[in-house]
Structure 1
Amino acid sequence: MDQSGDVIVVGSGVIGLTTAVVLAESGRRVRVWAGEPAERATSAVAGALWWPYRIEPKALAREWALQSLSVYEELAERPAETGVRMVEGVMGESRLDEQGPWAAARLPGLRASTAEEYAGTGLWARLPLLDMPVHLRWLRERFLRAGGVVEVRTVTDLAEAAAPVVVNCTGIGARRLVPDPAVRPVRGQLVIVENPGVTTWIVSTDETAGTTTYLFPQPDRLVLGGTTDEDDWSLTPDPAVAAEIVKRCAVLRPEIAGARVLGHRVGLRPVRDTVRLEREPLPDGRLLVHNYGHGGAGITVAWGCAREAAGLASR
């Protein structure tokens, strides 16, 4: 059987599944190798607000982000199906003149927040907010409809992927599999609570305390965060940290203080100084395409990176 069109995508987070969708819909025969089901991937834990934040290289990341924004705007027309909604909120400690002309041109209604909306300096914006369990399920189903196959299997070496083209979307796993010591974890802890009526999101950064506090309203819950614990591999929620997260969020929205806690989540962001998105011809004639190191901006750049990775896989 001719296998020239066969591709194995290793990794089933938002980067892996989005890349697999683009490849499968271009006519390739694609298998996704997932170390665990998508609902247990790091992406499933993400707060999942679209915003090009702390990702390098900046110029490329902005282009990838804007491509992704166009897709999310379309998907937001079917929120129950895709998990994508356009939601208004405040990006704290941000100013219009810091964003560059792209922001005002591409984000209608972007403006300085008012004192009633936010106590500090901020931007009022309408941005894509993703319900990640729903979105990952939708991506998987779209991939399967395009003829793709998902195989749950543990990969200990990328050489196991016997296909003409292998796309490495392993996130934090790339540290061990490539191996690439430049990939490191930045731990994020979240608290999930009943939503007491919050309809807008807030991201607030306290440079002095070194904390970023955020709250994201989802259809059936409110997601509170968060932490940025560098080089911390622990996946166990810390009760003291959870209490502090709720306390910080309640400063922003007092009604959160009495909200019933539904659960706790921890994820490890795959941070790298720059995203690695490149092709690596292998000695045996196969092609390895790397697409990892997106940190906490995976959903923000997913479609732009997926399209570039698919292009690299077809040359």
Structure 2
Amino acid sequence: MQSPVNEPVEDVFLVAPDFSSAQIMGLNVGIRPFRTSGVRLQAEYLSDKLIIHNYGYGGSGLSLCWGGSQEAMGILRQEQNNHPELSRPDAIAVLGAGIIGITTAYDLLAQGCRVNIYADAFSPHLTSNVAAGIFSAPTVRADMSAVQSELLNHLFAISSQRFLAMAQSERPELSGVKFITDYHFEAESASELKSEKFKKTQMRKKRVRVHFNNGLIKAGIQTRELGIDGKIFIEDLYARLLSRGVLFHQRKFESVRDISGLNEKIIFNCTSMGSKILFNDTSFRPVRGHLIYFKPQPGIDYSLYHSLPGETDYWVKLYPWRDRLILGGVFEHGKDEAVIDPLVIERLLENARVCFNRI
């Protein structure tokens, strides 16, 4: 993240985050559903049923959810035009109750559809609940196809507009979306890959010299960003779905045969890594992440990112919610067990404390 050499540097004064053990209120772990071939938005037929796949967001589900939902709606309209017998379904099934499933269900309601959601788990026991809710552009990998890269940019543009409208409205469509001030600090010899992972939709950007109240001074970049309190946002989504008549069915699907037994003729598959078993999708490569929850701290209403020298799989990311501060910063490739690793927690804490002189 480079700025013009002649750009003035503004002094900013902030409260330093307290990463002491006394401030910790909880730990969490989740599996990012990375799919090597990228997002899958596609229709297929299972006997007389239309399956619309909408999954594979690899940790960017919240940032891309509205774009994916709108693309899925477009696929539905196209298939209904081609198959008039699908034009007036009694109800539509959504498989999966994570962020992709519930935003898809929400947009189906807006189309006047009756919706049934099927899942083996619901909020707050989902990967979507574990995610910090950071709104950022998805990583565009060097090996990604041009088609997939263009799709991600398209989905992100749609989601950005919708979230922006929520943040700017006095009566927003959904709660929990606001503007937030973010600080980006680069360590010496920081990996370019890490900068790419956290590329944002910057609304305002300026160079700053941050004076923390513990005597630490850091040069960085301040941006004004869209921010999402994931807990508030997801709870509001669930409440609105329930109030509008969506039925939630707890059910675990073991095979495609189970899906073919559903009464609904139109089914949106938003099961993410569940598609590995249900639809023999072998392109998933799970990536585990750990989060540490801290008590809210007066003055910490900003987010921050700090890269680490020579690191691509560890960094420091602090993000504020109304009821907690969230510390994260790790990609554990190939880890598919949602089990907390004390050594990873210890390293996340050490990284944060070293970066902010709290050790």
The offset of 1:36, in angstroms, is 0.4
Q: Within 5 Å, give how 1:55-94 maps onto structure 2.
A: 57-76=148-167, 77=169, 82-92=175-185
**Would the aligned equivalents of 1:49 and 1:127 in 2 still touch at CA under 8 Å?**
no
Asked if 1:202 corresponds to 2:312, the answer is no
What is the CA distance between 1:174 and its match in structure 2? 1.7
Task: Name the structure 2 match of 1:108.
Answer: 203
Query: Aligned pair in 2 of structure 1 residues 75, 167: CA closer, same or farther (>3 Å)?
Result: same
Distance 1:207-1:178 versus aligned 2 partners, 3 A rule:
farther
| Counterpart position of 1:233 | 336
Equivalent runs, 1:35-184 vs 2, <5 Å: 35-54=120-139, 57-76=148-167, 77=169, 82-92=175-185, 107-109=202-204, 111-116=205-210, 119=218, 123-161=221-259, 162=262, 163-184=264-285
- Give the superposition deviation at 1:207: 6.1
**Secondary structure of the structure 1 residue equivalent to 2:158:** helix
CA RMSD, Structure 1 to Structure 2 (Å)? 2.9
Name the CA shift for 1:32/1:112 in 2 (closer, same or farther; >3 Å). Answer: same
Q: Runs of 5+ in structure 2 lacking a partner? A: 1-85, 212-216
Give the percent of matched residue pairs that are identical in Structure 1 and Structure 2: 24
Preserved contact between residue 213 and residue 245 of structure 1 (Cα < 8 Å) = yes
2:113 aligned partner, one-letter code = R
Equivalent residue pairs, number = 246
Query: Does the C-alpha gap of structure 1 residues 24 and 153 become closer, same or farther in structure 2, counting only changes over 3 Å?
Result: same
CA shift for structure 1 position 252: 3.9
Q: How is 1:247-286 mapped onto 2 (pairs within 5 angstroms)?
A: 247-254=350-357
Structure 2: how far apart are the matches of 1:33 and 1:245?
36
Partner Cα distance (1:129, 1:5) in 2:
37
Matched, 1:188 2:289: yes
Which structure 1 segments of 5+ residues have no match? Answer: 258-315
Contact 2:138 2:152 in 1 (8 A): no
Tell me: CA distance 1:207–1:22, structure 2 relative to 1, closer, same or farther (3 Å). farther
Change (3 A) 1:61 1:92: farther
Q: Mark the structure with the bigger radius of gyration.
A: 2
Alignment correspondent of 1:7:
92
8 Å CA contact 1:92–1:205 kept in 2: the answer is yes
Which residue type is aligned with residue 219 of structure 1? R
Q: 1:129 to 1:226 in 2, by over 3 A?
A: same
Is the contact made by 1:85 and 1:128 (CA closer than 8 Å) also made in structure 2?
Answer: yes
Contact map agreement 1:90 1:113 (CA 8 A) in 2 = no
CA contact (8 A) 2:203 2:225 kept: no
Contact between 2:120 and 2:251, CA under 8 Å: does it hold in 1?
Answer: yes
**Post-superposition offset of 1:47:** 1.5
CA distance in 1, matches of 2:183, 2:296: 18
* Alignment CA distance shift 1:246-1:196 (3 Å): farther
1:5 to partner: Cα distance:
4.6
Paired residue type of 1:84 = V
Secondary structure at the residue paired with 1:244?
Answer: helix
- The one-letter code of the counterpart of 2:250 is V
- Indicate the SS of the match to 2:210: coil
Q: Distance in 2 between matches of 1:190 and 1:206?
A: 17
Worse-matched range after superposition: 148-157 or 13-22: 148-157
Residue aligned with 2:286, SS: strand
Could you report, residue by residue, the CA deviation over 1:20-47 in whole angstroms, capped at 9, with x for unpaired residues?
1001111112111121012111010101
Secondary structure, in 3 states, of the residue corresponding to 2:319? strand
- What is the distance in 2 between the residues matched to 1:23 and 1:69? 20
SS in 1 for 2:93: strand
TM-score normalised to structure 2 length: 0.61
CA shift in 2, pair 1:221/1:179, >3 Å? same
Q: CA separation in 1, counterparts of 2:309 and 2:269?
A: 35
